[in-house]
Amino acid sequence: MPTNKLDQLYRSVIMDHYKSPRNKGVLKDNNVTVDMNNPTCGDVIHLTLQVEDGIVKDAKFEGEGCSISMASASMMTQIIKNKDIDTAVHYAHLFSDMMLGKEIDDSIDLGDIEALSGVAKFPARIKCATLGWKAMEKGLGSDSDN
């Protein structure tokens, strides 16, 4: 069986985030909450953020969905913590580019998130991967493409 192609999608770091999601739960002292779903497949995410002086101080998510959507949301919450809003939104744009298979500026270290680049080759799964990021953009008031 073609495990190689499967492994392109389900990289071990993705499986790790899926099985042990980071920042899972609901932030009690949040000042931003977003609920979003993917109507074509039923995936849902409940994102809570604590934003102070334009900085994302903390982020947590809860949701139901496939390995790709949940791992992606987990990674998203990791990278936006302690970033200012513009940077967080910029990451969302970079992620969107990555899903479109575009070249990403090498100088930016996306860490675990780079493991999701393989999703671009699975068109049916791109919406899974972008759910958490769309929720974050919406929460930070910058869901320009919606």
Partner 1 sequence: MLSKEIRKDFPILDQEINGYPLVYLDSAATSQKPRQVIEAITNYYKYDNSNVHRGVHTLGNRATEGYEGAREKVRKFINAKSTQEVIFMRGATTALNTVAQGYGRQNVEEGDEIVITHMEHHSNIIPWQQLAKEKGAILKYVDLEEDGTLSLDKVRETVTDRTKIVSIMYVSNVLGTMNPIKEITEIAHAHGAIMVVDGAQAAPHLKIDVQKLDCDFLAFSGHKMCGPTGIGVLYGKKDLLNKMEPVEFGGEMIDFVGLYESTWKELPWKFEGGTPIIAGAIGLGAAIDYLEQIGLDEIEKHEHELAGYAMDRMSSIEGLTIYGPKDPGKRAGLVTFNLDNVHPHDVATVLDMNGIAVRAGHHCAQPLMKWLDVSATARASFYLYNTEEDVDRLVEGLRIAKEYFE
Residues numbered 89 to 118 that lie near partner 1 (CB under 8 A) are none
Cβ distance to partner 1 smaller for residue 43 or 58:
43
* Token pair in block for residue 85: 């809003």
Shortest spacing between CB 44 and partner 1, in angstroms: 7
Q: Write down the residue that tokens 């270290």 correspond to.
A: 109
Beta-carbon contacts of residue 142 (< 8 Å; ≥ 6 apart) = 85, 89, 92
Rounded-to-5 percentages of helix, strand, coil across the chain: 50, 20, 30
Binding mask 55-94 for partner 1 (x = CB under 8 A): ---------xxxxx--------------------------
Q: Taking CB under 8 A as the rule, does residue 14 contact partner 1?
A: no
Considering only 3, 12, 107, 146, the residue that binds partner 1 (CB under 8 A) is: 3
Q: If binding is defined by CB under 8 A, does position 12 make contact with partner 1? A: no
From 77-85, 87-95, 108-116, 123-131, give the range in contact with partner 1 by CB under 8 A: 123-131
Single out the residue of 32, 44, 110, 120 in contact with partner 1 (rule: CB under 8 A).
Answer: 44
40 part of the interface to partner 1, by CB under 8 A: yes
Query: Using alpha carbons only, what angle is made at residue 69 by residues 121 and 25, rounded to the nearest 5 degrees?
Result: 160
Rounded to whole angstroms, the Cα distance separating 102 from 99 reads 7
Contact partners, residue 22, CB within 8 Å, separation at least 6: 74, 75, 77, 78
- The binding site for partner 1 (CB under 8 A) comprises 1-3, 5-6, 9-10, 15, 40-44, 64-68, 122, 124-125, 128
